[in-house]
Amino acid sequence: MVAAATTATTAIIGLGAMGMGMAKNMLRRAIPLTGYDIRPEVRAGFAEAGGRVAANIAEAATGAGLLIVMVVDTRQVREVLLGDRGALSFLPKGGTVMLCSTIAPSDTRAVAAEVAEAGALLLDAPVSGGQAGADNGSLVVMASGPRAAFAAAEAALAAISKTVHRLGEEPGIGSTYKTVHQLAAGTHLVAAAELMAFGARAGCDPQKLFDIVSTSAGQSWMFDDRVPRMLNGDHAPRSTVDIFVKDLELVLSEGRNLSMPMPVSAAAHQVLLAAAAMGYGGLDDASVVKVYERITGAPVRPHRGRGETV
């Protein structure tokens, strides 16, 4: 009956673009879910989707056999778990924290030690797939932790993901794979912007260029996912520029710890920093293309009314 009791008491903290999609997929699978987010309008959306809104973090954690944390960075993770009336003081003994935020492996290990001290388990479980993956329940999870933590998270993992990579029993392994993975996601994002702006400047029709590159050797998942937003001038935030500034900082600081120079990632990070400096930090990460557009003056928008191009 332990499994049933656990399933009955799942909670999630952080209902942004990722957390909300994950939450809805759990609700669709009839996992009774309590949720909390600091933003009242987000809590209201969660209630509409059928979730039970907690008044605060403490209430969300109380009695939760599984507590999913999907906030932005280490500071927020620590605040949620260890802050004044933080979750660890209210989580039942033997409860599991499933940490989905992308943070440094060393931070994950530090959090895991505090979780253990509180008598709970940590599943280090960052995800990939973006808002689309969260919405569709098709995330890829890079997870490590004790078997009991995997067991407690089983129903939730099945609801949110297409693949769960089980990478070992120690905390920090999942975060390591995710950090390394972000090198590609962040670099490909900036490369996509650099390519599209270069093409626009060189006289290519950006729509035609997208069609060609996305079906050729220049293709990437990020290119396919983000360039349509650039073409549409759609900068409503799913994942923001600021989040990728943070993720590539993570890549570079892990690299520094390991004496590993990464010139391509460092260049991509600089461009994202420029985007943040120009005021686009809170916009969708595809708006990094604006850095290049402001340099070239050539908008990355489809040419109108022209069958042939250039």
Q: Which 3 state secondary structure label does DSSP give 219?
A: coil
Q: Considering only residues 264, 277, 279, 294, which one is a binding residue for its own copies as defined by CB under 8 A?
A: 264
Using CB atoms within 10 A of its CB, is residue 243 exposed (0-12), middle (13-18) or buried (19+)? buried
C-alpha separations of 95 from 107, 197, 233 in Å: 20, 49, 44
- Enumerate the β-bridge partners of residue 161: 139
Q: Which of residues 87-106 bind its own copies (CB under 8 A)?
A: 105
- C-beta of 99: minimal distance to its own copies in Å? 17
- The catalytic residue positions are 178
Contacts of 4 (CB under 8 A, 6+ apart): none
Q: Which 3 state secondary structure label does DSSP give 69?
A: strand
Stretch that binds its own copies, among 18-26, 42-50, 113-121, 288-296 (CB under 8 A): 288-296
- What count of Cα atoms within 13 Å lies in the side-chain half-sphere of residue 288? 31
287 touches its own copies (CB under 8 A): no
44 touches its own copies (CB under 8 A): no
Cβ closer to its own copies: 7 or 74? 74
Give dist(CA 251, CA 261) in Å, integer. Answer: 10
Q: Considering only residues 215, 253, 279, 294, which one is a binding residue for its own copies as defined by CB under 8 A?
A: 215
Residues in the chain: 310
190 touches its own copies (CB under 8 A): yes
Q: Which of residues 223-252 bind its own copies (CB under 8 A)?
A: 223, 225, 251
β-pair type (10-13, 127-128) = unpaired
- Write the binding mask 132 to 171 for its own copies: x where contact by CB under 8 A, - elsewhere: -x------x-x-x------------------x-xxxxxx-
191 touches its own copies (CB under 8 A): yes
Contacts of 248 (CB under 8 A, 6+ apart): 182, 183, 186, 187, 265, 268, 269, 272
- C-beta of 190: minimal distance to its own copies in Å? 5
Give dist(CA 228, CA 6) in Å, integer. Answer: 41
Q: Considering only residues 270, 277, 282, 294, which one is a binding residue for its own copies as defined by CB under 8 A?
A: 270
The residue among 171, 298, 172, 191 whose CA lies nearest residue 244 is: 191
Give dist(CA 216, CA 223) in Å, integer. Answer: 11
The residue among 88, 37, 23, 92 whose CA lies nearest residue 64 is: 92
179 touches its own copies (CB under 8 A): yes
Cβ closer to its own copies: 68 or 164? 164
Q: Considering only residues 2, 202, 236, 277, which one is a binding residue for its own copies as defined by CB under 8 A?
A: 202
- C-beta of 218: minimal distance to its own copies in Å? 3
Q: Considering only residues 220, 242, 275, 289, which one is a binding residue for its own copies as defined by CB under 8 A?
A: 220
Q: Considering only residues 56, 232, 253, 309, which one is a binding residue for its own copies as defined by CB under 8 A?
A: 309
Q: Considering only residues 40, 55, 117, 259, which one is a binding residue for its own copies as defined by CB under 8 A?
A: 259
Cβ closer to its own copies: 77 or 164? 164
